């Protein structure tokens, strides 16, 4: 594999064509207020465009919800960037102990040196969320911690990660990004009821696909940056090492992984809304149903449930169906922010964010000012 300085030119995947006509980018009407309300240490990073990115990622939130989402995502990004973009020896300043089985999310976040800043606001969710949501949110945070510890070991040892299978890496990378618990938080702040047994697996899969799409896109479009600091936590680096293929081929294969997941999301979205009879415009025709059946085998490996989408379930209430439709739209809003980046040239793409919580080129100078005593 060539050294970082020898990285040549290559063509990035044409992701814009997959997003262009799929979902309209929406903007929250409170786009200016959150940027002005952020803590002073976050305001010192104006190039992150947090107000705009948050308003596009979470257009249906009210002002209070939007501020919480942006603050939370920002701190996750900064924590992530201090780990992935650090040139100094990697060390951990977040310890959970050996047993977290009896700990709730409040107790766990209380141990995080940065996220504890939001603990007062986050603790209020205990009164408005179900026990199952709190358990899921806690599990997502614990998965974030475990993946973070692995990332610290990988970076400290300079490991190429070739021992990981591709799907195993994607799961690790998704957990490391914090996207799962950010999407959990979005569900809670908007008060959505999504614990609906006929559709639990489908919704879980949609959430996972969104995380995959975002982190894989970030990896591809930040490859040059990762190479420049010898950070091997990148799907392109893994494909090069594992497949023993040239850079141009690993970029193409990484792009194919993204395209596959975008198509799978569209497929599952359509079949899920059709099975609920969401609206006349969303119902699949006989031709659509035939096409969905023929596509199933192509995507079945990406789904957690090894069965086709459910038939309409009369036990699902109108309110539940409405919440599912809103959540799917929220997931699409998060993905659609990618269009903000893909319409720019490569330089702009790698210096902005793939999403509000995935900013790929935050300078370490900024990170050191924000975290003077925290390496990662």
pLDDT, tens digit (0-9, with 9 covering 90-100), for 213-239: 999 999 998 899 888 888 899 999 999
Exposed / middle / buried, residue 131 (Cβ in 10 Å: 0-12, 13-18, 19+) = exposed
Exposed / middle / buried, residue 149 (Cβ in 10 Å: 0-12, 13-18, 19+) = middle
Q: What are phi and psi of 359, to 5 degrees?
A: -95, 120
Residue identified by tokens 């899969």 is 205
CB burial of 302-322 (b: ≥16 within 10 Å; e: otherwise) equals bbeeeeebbeeeeebeeebbe
Q: Are 273 and 282 in contact (CB under 8 A)?
A: yes
Q: Are 85 and 364 in contact (CB under 8 A)?
A: yes
The strand pair at 353-355 and 358-359 is best described as: antiparallel
CB burial of 182-219 (b: ≥16 within 10 Å; e: otherwise) equals bbbbbbbbbebebebebbebbbbbbbbbbbbbbbbbbb
Q: How far apart are the first and last CA of the chain?
A: 28
**What integer pLDDT is reported at residue 13 of this predicted model?**
79
Question: What is the DSSP code (8-state) at residue 89?
Answer: P
Nearest to 50 by CA among 26, 34, 30, 63: 34
pLDDT, tens digit (0-9, with 9 covering 90-100), for 162-180: 789 999 999 999 999 999 9
The pTM of this model reads: 0.80
The partner residues of 358 in beta bridges, in order of sequence, read 355
SS3 content of the chain, % helix, strand, coil (to 5): 65, 0, 35
Exposed / middle / buried, residue 22 (Cβ in 10 Å: 0-12, 13-18, 19+) = middle
**What integer pLDDT is reported at residue 114 of this predicted model?**
84
In order along its 376 residues, the chain shows pLDDT tens digits of 444 444 567 788 787 777 766 667 778 877 766 655 555 545 555 566 666 777 888 988 998 999 899 889 888 888 888 888 877 656 777 887 666 777 899 999 999 988 898 999 999 999 999 999 999 999 999 999 999 999 988 888 876 687 899 999 999 999 999 999 999 999 999 999 888 888 889 999 999 999 999 999 999 988 998 888 888 999 999 999 998 899 999 999 999 999 999 999 999 999 888 887 764 334 344 444 444 444 445 555 555 544 454 455 666 788 888 899 999 999 998 887 776 655 543 333 333 333 333 333 223 223 333 333 333 3
For residues 68 and 50, what is the distance between their CA atoms, to the nearest angstrom?
A: 12
Domains of the chain with bracketed CATH = 27-370 (1.10.600.10)
**What integer pLDDT is reported at residue 345 of this predicted model?**
36
Contacts of 31 (CB under 8 A, 6+ apart): 51, 52, 54, 55
């Amino acid at each position: 594999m060539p050294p970082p300085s020898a990285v040549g030119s290559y063509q990035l995947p044409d992701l814009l064509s997959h997003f262009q006509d799929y979902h309209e980018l929406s903007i929250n009407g409170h786009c200016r207020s959150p940027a002005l309300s952020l803590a002073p240490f976050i305001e010192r990073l104006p190039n992150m465009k947090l107000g705009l990115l948050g308003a596009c990622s979470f257009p249906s939130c009210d002002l209070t919800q939007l501020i919480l989402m942006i603050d939370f995502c920002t701190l996750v990004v900064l924590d992530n960037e201090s780990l992935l973009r650090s040139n100094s020896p990697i060390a951990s300043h977040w310890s959970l102990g050996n047993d977290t089985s009896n700990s709730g999310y409040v107790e766990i976040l209380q141990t995080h040196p940065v996220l504890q800043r939001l603990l007062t606001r986050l603790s209020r969710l205990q009164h408005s969320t179900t026990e199952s949501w709190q358990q899921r949110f806690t599990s997502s945070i614990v998965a974030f911690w475990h993946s973070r510890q692995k990332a610290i070991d990988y970076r400290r040892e300079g490991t190429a990660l070739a021992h990981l299978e591709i799907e195993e890496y994607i799961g690790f990378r998704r957990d490391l990004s914090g996207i799962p618990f950010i999407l959990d938080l979005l569900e809670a702040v908007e008060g959505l009821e999504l614990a609906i047994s006929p559709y639990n697996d489908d919704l879980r899969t949609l959430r996972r696909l969104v995380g995959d799409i975002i982190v894989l896109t970030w990896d591809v479009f930040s490859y040059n940056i990762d190479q420049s600091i010898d950070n091997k936590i990148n799907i392109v680096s893994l494909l090069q090492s594992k497949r023993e293929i040239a850079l141009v081929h690993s970029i193409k294969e990484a792009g194919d992984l993204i395209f596959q997941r975008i198509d799978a999301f569209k497929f599952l979205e359509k079949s899920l809304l059709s099975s609920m009879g969401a609206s006349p415009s969303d119902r699949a025709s006989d031709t659509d149903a035939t096409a969905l059946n023929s596509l199933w085998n192509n995507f079945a490996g990406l789904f957690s449930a090894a069965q086709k989408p459910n038939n309409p379930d009369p036990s699902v209430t109108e309110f539940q169906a409405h919440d599912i439709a809103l959540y799917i739209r929220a997931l699409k809003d998060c993905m659609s922010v990618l269009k903000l980046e893909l319409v720019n040239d490569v330089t702009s793409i790698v210096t902005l964010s793939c999403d509000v919580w995935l900013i790929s080129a935050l300078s370490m100078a900024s990170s050191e000012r924000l975290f003077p005593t925290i390496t990662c």
